[in-house]
A and B are shown apart, each in its own frame.
Chain A
Amino acid sequence: MSYSEKVIDHYENPRNVGVFDKDDKSVGTGMVGAPACGDVMRLQIKVNEQGIIEDARFKTYGCGSAIASSSLLTEWVKGKTLDEARAIKNTDIAEELALPPVKIHCSVLAEDAIKAAIEDFKAKSGLVV
């Protein structure tokens, strides 16, 4: 299978790889997927007092498209509010990366990951989900 240039770029130069301290109060952590399916994404967001996502980190076990989807997402959520980040659709990710039909599920997982991270942050900070 030949990958789109953007997927290759994110794979060769992934943005925001790493870990935040998940016990930090300003951090929301979302872990989705399962090893049995061949895809596991951990997405973390650091939210400031104004409710803006100031930073994000990810680690992914999965194919090139999965890595690219999560990497792209960490780029997109920076500077967004929680609601804006929540509104990101998997179709946007799939379009940006030119994912073929058989890889769309990677973008779906990335959407699930950011939602999970946001839920986690909100639960920790006692906000209404």
Chain B
Amino acid sequence: MTERKVPIYLDYSATTPVDPRVAEKMCHCLTMDGDFGNPASKSHYFGWKAEELVERARKDVADLIGADPKEIVWTSGATESNNLAIKGAAYFLKKKGKHIITCKTEHKAVLDTCRHLERDGFEVTYLDPETDGLVDLKKLEAAIRPDTILVSIMHVNNEIGVVQDIKAIGELTRSKGILFHVDGAQSAGKVEIDLQTMKVDLMSFSAHKVYGPKGIGALFVRRKPRVRLEAQMHGGGHERGMRSGTLPTHQIVGMGEAFRIAKEEMAVEGARLTKLKNRLLDGIKDIEEVYINGDLIHRVPGNLNVSFNFIEGESLMMALKELAVSSGSACTSSSLEPSYVLRALGRNDELAHSSIRFTLGRFTTEADIDHTIELLREKVQKLRELSPLWDMFKEGIDLSTVKWAAH
């Protein structure tokens, strides 16, 4: 196999390259000869031009998700949107109630924000997902209390790619008068979002997961029925007082263009990615002791999260140095804990240690997939030959009965 100098990028869930069409639009908003003005400069051409571009981008974002442009608030990214939504709603509603419900598999931006609120007197219920990664609606309903003010559930999980039924959850929360926040960082441009029919009150978005630049995101804040938030960034009162700070025209234009392209190309791209993902799956599913993490049906097209039993994830990633992927292995997180998402699915530590997440995207080719399959098959075999656990498995030993001399 000829060795590549630059690895094949299969980590689209971590970030995406900026689409050249997006980069071109952004460049026009930087230098003296471009539209560099401050959109809040109401008194001259430079401000008006920048404002016009910002409002066009706002409409592009709104169009992808079935929202009104007035419902879009620009932020620095989905992490900030999550903070604004959760803290903003909680502090605004704290006299009404102090209970929040979320799920153990949420992104750290949600979980850590909830932990902060717990230190501030709120109570949070962290639901367990089912083993396929999906939230059970009956369990969610059972967790609701008279003082519940907010439910936060992500649309698509970044590690296992499963898609939650936010339409159904929205019906439930609306019927109880509870606010519903959705982290949509990984779903925009990949699965259909129609906020006209989905009873979601707050939704976070990120540009860099869908071929836009890093450092810009948005928060959908519903107007009918009106959702009120306590601002987290104070200053000049931008974004209807919800988020102060000069709007970065070039970033916003980038996000708008990325979302516009996503709306146009989502269906075709989704079909292409599903085909590529299935090609990858077909190429490896006959390998012994391979486990797919997360439901295969309610899943975004480009995600495949696989555990290769009896092999440790970091050593597999090292073997796959011609691929850029990520692992749920403890060694690759900076704490030495295996993926909390895989643990929450009920996966034992060994399978969490041996997982690899492949996320395909716009620039992934069939040749990339074929090379990946070839590489995987070769390296999995090599590592199994190195593994004492594989030997024991082959000898018929049940590893759960072994007494380990742990250090």
Q: Which of B211-219, B367-375, B387-395 contacts A (4 or more CB under 8 A)?
A: B387-395
Chain B residues within an 8 Å CB radius of A64: 314-315, 318
* Chain A residues touching B, range: 20 to 34
- Once the chains are docked, how many angstroms separate the CA of A59 from the CA of B391? 9
Q: Which residues of B contact A38 (CB under 8 A)?
A: 312-314, 329-331, 336, 338, 349, 353
Asked whether any CB of chain A lies closer than 8 Å to the CB of B142, the reply is no
Contacts of A40 in B (CB 8 A): 388-389, 404
Find out whether the CB atom of B315 lies under 8 angstroms from the CB atom of A67: yes
Partner of A63 from the list B315, B385, B388, B405 (CB cut-off 8 Å) is B315
**Chain B interface category by residue count:** 20 to 34
Query: Are A59 and B388 touching (Cβ within 8 A)?
Result: yes
* B385 and A36 contacting across the interface, CB-CB below 8 Å: no
A123 within 8 A of B: no
Residues of A within 8 A of B349 (CB): 35-38
Chain A residues lying within 8 Å of B350, measured Cβ to Cβ, are 35-36
In the bound complex, CA of A92 to CA of B185 (Å): 46
Given the complex of chains A and B, what is the CA–CA distance between A38 and B332 in angstroms?
A: 11
**How far, in whole Å, are A63 and B389 apart by their CA atoms in the complex?**
14
Residue numbers in A under 8 Å from B330 (CB-CB): 37-38
B205 interface contact, C-beta 8 A: no
Instruction: Determine whether A62 belongs to the interface, using a CB cutoff of 8 Å to chain B.
Output: yes
Asked if B168 is an interface residue, CB under 8 A from chain A, the answer is no
Which chain B residues in 73-106 approach chain A with CB under 8 Å? none
Question: Which residues from 270 to 328 on chain B have a C-beta closer than 8 Å to any C-beta of chain A?
Answer: 310-315, 318-319
Contact (A59, B318) CB under 8 Å given A35-B404, A105-B407 = no
- Judged by a CB distance under 8 angstroms, whether B267 is at the interface is no
Which residues in window 322-356 of B have CB below 8 A to A? 329-332, 334, 336, 338, 348-350, 353
Residues of B near A11 (CB, < 8 A) are: 315, 318-319
A52 surroundings in chain B (CB, below 8 A): none
Q: B residues within 8 A CB of A112?
A: 405, 407
> Given the complex of chains A and B, what is the CA–CA distance between A103 and B348 in angstroms?
23
A76 in the interface (beta carbon within 8 A): no
B30 within 8 Å of A (CB atoms):
no
A40–B391 CA distance with the chains assembled, in angstroms: 12
**Which residues of B are found within 8 Å of A59, using beta-carbon distances?**
386-388, 391
Taking a contact as CB atoms under 8 Å apart, the answer to whether B407 and A37 are in contact is yes
Chain B residues within an 8 Å CB radius of A14: 386
Is B399 an interface residue when CB atoms closer than 8 A count as contact? yes
CB neighbours of A32 from chain B (8 A): 405, 407
Closest to A17 in B: B386
CA distance A17 to B385 in the complex (A): 8
Interface residues of A in 1-54 (CB under 8 A from B): 1, 3, 8, 11, 14, 17, 19, 31-42
The answer, yes or no, to whether B6 is at the interface (CB within 8 Å) is: no
B32 at the interface (CB under 8 A from A): no
B contact residues around A1 at 8 Å (CB)? 332
Residue of B nearest to A60 (CB): B386
Complex Cα distance, B333 from A41, in Å, reads 21
Instruction: Say yes or no: is A97 at the interface (Cβ < 8 Å to chain B).
Output: no
Interface positions, chain B 188-208, Cβ under 8 Å from A, are none
Is the C-beta of B406 less than 8 angstroms from some C-beta in chain A?
A: yes
Q: Which residue of B332, B336, B399, B407 contacts A33 across the interface (Cβ within 8 Å)?
A: B407
A-B contact pairs, 6 of them (CB 8 A): A33-B405, A38-B312, A38-B330, A41-B388, A61-B312, A108-B407
- For the complex with contacts A33-B407, A36-B348, 19 further pairs of A-B residues with Cβ separation under 8 Å are A11-B315, A14-B386, A31-B405, A33-B404, A34-B405, A36-B350, A37-B349, A39-B407, A40-B389, A42-B388, A63-B312, A63-B314, A63-B318, A64-B314, A64-B315, A67-B315, A109-B407, A112-B405, A116-B405
